[in-house]
Amino acid sequence: MDTADKKQKQQSQAGYDFVLLVPTLLLLSLGLVAIYSASSYLAAHKLGDSYYYLKRQGSFCLVGLFFMIMAKNIPNRFYRILVYPSLIVSLVLLILLIVPGIGTKVGGASRWLRFAGLSFQPSELAKLSLALYIAYSMAKKGHDMTFFSRGFLPHVCVVGAFMALILLQPDLGTSVIIGCWLLILLFVGGANLLQLIGTVALFTPIVLWLIRDADYRVKRLQAFLDPWGDPQGLGFQIINSFLAFGSGGVFGAGLGNGKQKLFYLPEPHTDFILPVLAEELGLIGSLTIIVLFGVLIMRGIRIALNASDLYSSYLAMGISSFLGLQVLVNMGVVMGLLPTKGLTLPLVSYGGTSLVLSLLGIGVLLNISARR
């Protein structure tokens, strides 16, 4: 048996990263408990079934675990085959959102497509598709990443097209997150630092103008800067989030015993689920959640560093970066460190599209870790 065959055999026998799987399953389990605790009163009052959101999230969880197992076990080369088909599908779905009568509007934004009673958020699929594309493209270009016309500009144009479509929904927050994610990946891929700094300098005034141009974005910014200026209006949600964190103490009130979820904190089972957990589990529980996410993201980065090829390394870094940015933004919002942005906490918040695609991404990381 020659050296190449021995290496391939060793890679095929390498087990998946168990340290990545453990925090994933723990956060998933904690999320189901938190969703029931946060939504049972709301669901019983509005829908007559206190288990409504729990049953739906449980179904999404099973689907997500199926995709995670499938992604972990399929041949690694299959991801390269999916690069352009997934990119095209994501692009078409984002275009459909802005076609009148097709996208489902919630709160004035058309971000969901509805099929057979289920809602699907194309921007979540776009994140994974972009991770597949950017990893494939950067690995193929190699040392050309240092050149503006061959390494920098093509990636900015492709990702910029997706950001523009997401901005038309409108969803400025997700567009900004994708833009920050692209800068991270380009930096890792070897793009010129001056080009990255110039891009930030160019687009920062545009983002500020977009905020100023929309009244609801200005109000969100005002609520971020001074929530106590309008405690019954603009600042209502973030103030109740502060109260939830503050009343939890060190050990919390106990699961199910929180008060802010009782029609004080709006939509407590979605993007503001962390304050509910902080109130019921206290400082100890909050730190545990932060540590679990820290382990999950750091293991993803470690998988990227130990990957068997450049494409797998960039793909693992792209998925880990998206998870990390989403966690940081969600926690920053509920703690009043960032303006309000309707972004879920991965694996924990209620939301089928986010949960399934997060688990699918983790399945890809497990796949890469098994071939390190």
CB 144 within 8 A of CB 151: yes
Burial class of residue 359 in the structure, from the number of CB atoms within 10 Å of its CB (0-12 exposed, 13-18 middle, 19+ buried): buried
pLDDT band for position 108 (50/70/90)? Answer: low
Per-position b or e across 90-119, b if 16+ CB within 10 A of its CB: bbebbeebeeeeebeeeeeebbbbeeeeee
CA distance 200 to 348: 32
User: d(Cα 202, Cα 209) in Å, to the nearest integer?
Assistant: 12
| pLDDT, average across residues 105-132 | 82
Percent of the chain clearing pLDDT 90 (strictly above): 41
pLDDT at 9 over 70: no
**What is the residue whose two structure tokens read 């019954």?**
232
Q: Residue range 12-26: average pLDDT?
A: 79
What pLDDT digit, counting tens, does each position of 181-239 carry? 999 999 988 888 898 899 899 888 988 888 888 787 888 888 888 888 878 877 888 88
**Per residue in 247-276, pLDDT tens?**
888 888 888 888 888 878 787 888 889 999
Average pLDDT, the chain: 86
Q: What per-residue confidence (pLDDT) applies to 327?
A: 93
Domain ranges within the chain, ordered by starting residue: 15-369
Q: Can you tell me whether residue 125 is helix, strand or coil?
A: helix
Give the residues across from 114 on adjacent strands.
Answer: 119
Q: What is the pLDDT of residue 297?
A: 94
Which residues lie closer than 8 Å to 24 by C-beta, 6 or more apart? 296, 347, 359, 362
Cβ atoms of residues 270 and 350 within 8 Å: yes
Q: If you average pLDDT over residues 294-299, what whole number do you get?
A: 94
Instruction: Dig out the tokens for 107 from the structure.
Output: 């709160």
Within 10 angstroms of residue 306's Cβ, the number of other Cβ atoms is: 15
Q: What amino acid occupies position 195?
A: Q
- Residue 107, Ramachandran bin (φ over 0: left; ψ between -120 and 50: alpha; else beta): left
| pTM of the shown model | 0.90
Judged against a pLDDT cut of 80, whether residue 7 lies above it is answered with: no
Q: Tell me, what's the pLDDT at 316?
A: 94
**pLDDT tens per residue, range 74-93:** 887 888 888 999 999 999 99
Residue 4, number of CB atoms within 10 A of its CB: 8
